[in-house]
Copies of this chain bind each other. A is one copy, B any other.
Amino acid sequence: MLPYQTLICINKNCSQPIYLQIVSEFIRQIQDGIVKSGTKLPGSRKLAELLGVHRKTVVTAMEELYAQGWVELIPYKGTYIAGCLPKVKAKQWSEQAVNLTMPKEAGFEFTPTKLIQIPTILNQRLSLNDGYPDVRLAPVEEMATAYARNLRRYAGSNVLSYGNLFGQEYLRSVLSEEFNKTRGLRSTADNFLITRGSQMAIYLTINALIHKGDKVIVGETNYHVANRCLQMVGAKILHIPVDKDGLVVEEMEALCTTHSIKAVYVTSHHHHPTTVTLKPERRIQLLALAEKYRFMIIEDDYDYEFHYGNCPVLPLASADRHGLVVYIGSFSKLTAPAFRLGYVIAPQNVIRELVKLRRVIDLQGDAVLELAFAEMMEAGIIRRYLKKALKQYRIRRNVFCELLQKKLPNVVSFNKPQGGMAIWANFSEKVSLVELAKIAPKYDIFIGDGLIHNPPNQNLNSTRLGFASLNEAEIEEAITLLEKVIRENF
């Protein structure tokens, strides 16, 4: 008899049910030819004893293996590894197919884009990242329950089929009601397109509405991925400065009189990367200019919820009378980045245009995730989580800013942000961020070099330092290490 006790490895601490572990271990051993076709298996009692599990577990595993066709039952004789294994044997139509390995490089030519780099994701324990949320605070248990419940509820229904091009009606209705109440919008569900995070919202808006040669105004520092999208479609990017009150809208009219402006991209609530808020006078002025020159405002309000001052500022979209604002947001920071949920809110003819592009990109969103999130939103679970997260993030921002000021007063200058998950840190000339980013990992601390935030031909020596994903102890540890790296190397 085969030594099943050593062949079939069971990990009782693994959350996968033991019977499934037995099933996959058996399949592996059969596929690898260790347990051969025609082998008679020991009885369930014997096998249970060998594996140190309950007999019922073995029986369940055998039922599964039988259902999958890996074992056969012969009456009065026992259980055998199937003679004809269920692996699909495909038709080989070419002798070439034997013993190849895939070449490392393509055999055809293509031109790699220089516009987009694969980003370095700073996910180590002590990362001063771009401003990530703390996934340890995420409402995971509630999401797991809501997802599974909604999936079961809609089993066998068309919710699981094709069709969800705009996003689930239920989610769009819940959001429309919520945003009309809290953000001063006057939307209906038809003004919504549910996307995969604000990233897809930006991509769709730019790719569907802006074409080669169109002129688009952005801040001199601007969200780098929006810049990349604009460059990809061949837009002509015009820059205006950003000061402590956001985009310097006062400089915009001069551009409007000399150029036909197609769009302005603005992160009004917390400018990316510098975190400043666009002040009310400039908001009014920006809308007036859009109305006068009929350009579109792409308002990317990616972190509206995360504001630590008295109250957030209503979006530009709330005062748009003429259908000039395409309003973009995200729930990926509210749940966790792995849940790609975002939206575009715009007049219906814009939404329908975006949907056309969405249809060829990924066809539709994740219906179950959308329904689960809508339910959590309606039941107030998201609000409760937000309340908890805001409290933590406010404390973390305060601790982070105080420590940075205390430990690195002559190295880092910054303004305490009113919201968001990162500060915009300007490093003194003597500390090169590029060097610092290279050396820091040796001290187990990770920091971005800030190059992606640089306007063309400038070296700001500035970067975003995320405070939200670290707890207070980790912030203390991180800044202590950062001070040490700088002291010992610069």
Contact = CB atoms under 8 A, between A and B. Distances in A.
A91 interface: yes
A428 interface: no
A294 B117 CA distance: 26
A368 interface: yes
B338 A364 contact: yes
A284 interface: yes
Contacts of A319: 93-94, 96-97, 100
Given A135-B161, A337-B160, A362-B196, A323 B105 contact: yes
A291 B108 CA distance: 9
**A interface, size bucket:** 35 or more
B151 A143 contact: yes
Contacts of A158: 123, 135
Q: How many copies does the complex hold?
A: 2
A225 interface: yes
A338 B367 contact: yes
A362 B340 contact: yes
A95 B447 CA distance: 43
Interface stretch (A341-349, A436-444, A473-481): A341-349
Nearest to A279: B93
Given A108-B296, A161-B336, A321-B96, A147 B149 contact: no
B186 A375 contact: no
A108 B294 contact: yes
A361 B199 contact: yes
Interface string A60-104: 000011011110000000000000001111111110110111111
Contacts of A141: 152, 155
A54 interface: no
Contacts of A365: 340
12 contacts: A88-B311, A93-B283, A93-B284, A93-B319, A100-B320, A106-B346, A112-B353, A132-B161, A136-B156, A161-B469, A200-B361, A366-B366
